[in-house]
Chain A
Amino acid sequence: MNRPELKQFIKPKHINDYPVGPSFDAGFLTSENSGWRTEKPIVDAEKCIGCWQCYLFCPEGVIFKSNNIIDIDYAFCKGCGICARVCPKEAISLIKEHK
């Protein structure tokens, strides 16, 4: 697996269910960050040239290479817009999200 994924976290019921001291599995995710967004980045596949600058600059690492262009893991995208700013072809637009 290339990146940590959401896992089902079962709240401990007995003290022995807790990890021994503060030491636990690396890359264990229990909650999304998608709720932080007010805007969502959408990629125009026609304009994208697969230069992967957005992939490089994303603070979250949610942009990944897919089919020679990119795709986005929206579960953890915070909608900061850096991807849109760095894209040399203006292939990414930020669309207001309504929840």
Chain B
Amino acid sequence: MPQRGYFIDKGTQVMNRKEFISGNEAVAEGVRLVEPHVIAAYPITPQTVVVERLSEMVEDGSLRSEFLHVESEHSALSACMGASAIGARTFTASSSQGLLYLAECLHYASGGRFPIVMMNANRSLALPWSIYGDHRDSLSQLDSGWIQIYVEDAQESLDMVIQSFAIAENLKVLTPVMLNLDGFVLTHTYELVEIPEKETVEAWLPPFKTPYAMDLDKPKNMGFSSQPCDNMEFKYQQHRAVIDAKQIIKEVDASFGKAFGRSYGGMVDAYRCEDAELIVISLGSTTGTCRTVADELREEGWKVGVLRIRFMRPFPEEEIIEITKNAKAIAVIDRDISFGFEGTVYTNVNSALSRNNNSILKLNFIAGLGGRDISKESIREVFSDLGEGLNHGKVKHVKFLNLGVKIDE
């Protein structure tokens, strides 16, 4: 069995209940523990279960949030911004078409410095319609100014809901956080999840306090216009805050580990990369399959490793450069494509590695679009292509994995 991506801090003796729940339900459990003041969300497959569970929790009294039945995703995030502007802690969830419908509000929220937490169920974008998972929705919004996290399993989903509020609401950050779960593969898959005690969460997560919200004693004017002489300064501030978030992310993860007994190692999660010659880089739940294949290849004598990027923004340039410094070839698996060029994760990784100025081979594999399964065989093909590329074989810079037909190229 591959080693799990998180470590248990043996010093912490916490007896928590375990439940057999889906990724969506784990998110809802996390939200119940945090108990935001206001929840406003619109249902969309495959996020619906989050919204349904939360409304059940409100009904039975175990979640005392103000729950708004908004009439669209745009209104969901807009309502969250209104609540955040008055100093309330808020949560929302969306996916795919909904995420794009509220896209204007993404920039509004990050520019407005509202520390909202949003769960996004990664789902493909129409057209053609697809309710199944890929990363095209969130990766197309990488420039929106949000911190973006990609989780791998239900436990991490629950834990990162709690961590996301701590990161977002930190006054050095004040940036909204998008928590991404793979549609269906993670949102609807059941796992054993440890659910912390509410007291532990209340003791660990400080209440949301900000001097910048509307206040009856110190009234504010917010969401104002800027002239050309001021706009860049506001944007620089935002950029700085996301960079500064890197340090906060590490501190929050370490502190979470002490309080809850689980931490995730920060912005990336490296598996058997120390002496790896070939490294596959991926996001989210695909990584599990990659590790299984890596273990098999190790048995066969290959020196391989798997690097999971947990945070796409801020981008873990230093970690990626450090972890791949002795590798000979890396492959980035993108569950998205910027049509006419490359996958977005690859573009980001390539940019970071290009500053190192070495001769590492970098290949991009487009996989799993619209819910296409990413099989062990496909991952083997990736490692195999890396090997072939090193032996001066002709390999494509961008390759679509597991197409069902022959193409003329």
Contacts and interface: CB of A to CB of B under 8 A. Distances in A.
A18 interface: yes
B323 to A, nearest CB: 32
B221 to A, nearest CB: 5
Contacts of B222: 22-24
B220 interface: yes
Interface stretch (A25-33, A40-48, A91-99): A25-33
A26 B220 contact: yes
Interface string A9-28: 00010010011111111111
B233 to A, nearest CB: 5
B237 A15 contact: yes
Interface string A26-68: 1110000000000000000000000000000000000000000
A21 B221 contact: no
A30 to B, nearest CB: 12
A23 B171 CA distance: 14
Interface string B211-254: 01100001111111010001001101110100000000000000
A interface residue count range (under 10 / 10 to 19 / 20 to 34 / 35 or more):
10 to 19
B305 interface: no
A12 B233 contact: yes
A21 B220 contact: no
A22 B233 contact: no
B219 to A, nearest CB: 4
B221 A25 contact: yes
Interface residues of B, number: 21
Contact of A23 (B212, B233, B240): B212
A26 B212 CA distance: 12
B112 interface: yes
A28 B220 CA distance: 10
A19 to B, nearest CB: 8
Contacts of A15: 233, 236-237, 240
Nearest to B85: A23
Given A12-B233, A15-B233, A27-B219, A22 B224 contact: yes
B111 interface: yes
B234 A18 contact: yes
Nearest to A28: B221
A75 B295 CA distance: 77
Interface in B79-123: 111-113
B93 to A, nearest CB: 24
B212 A20 contact: yes
A28 B224 CA distance: 12
B240 A22 contact: no
A20 B220 contact: no
B115 to A, nearest CB: 11
Nearest to B114: A21
Contacts of A28: 221
B38 interface: no
B174 A20 contact: yes
Given A12-B233, A15-B233, A15-B236, A22 B226 contact: yes
B233 A21 contact: no
A22 B223 CA distance: 5
Most buried by B among A22, A27, A28: A22
17 contacts: A12-B233, A15-B233, A15-B236, A15-B240, A18-B233, A18-B237, A19-B212, A21-B112, A21-B113, A21-B174, A21-B238, A22-B223, A22-B226, A23-B113, A23-B222, A23-B223, A26-B221
A-B CB proximity, top 9 nearest = A21-B113, A26-B219, A23-B212, A23-B222, A22-B224, A26-B221, A23-B220, A18-B233, A22-B223
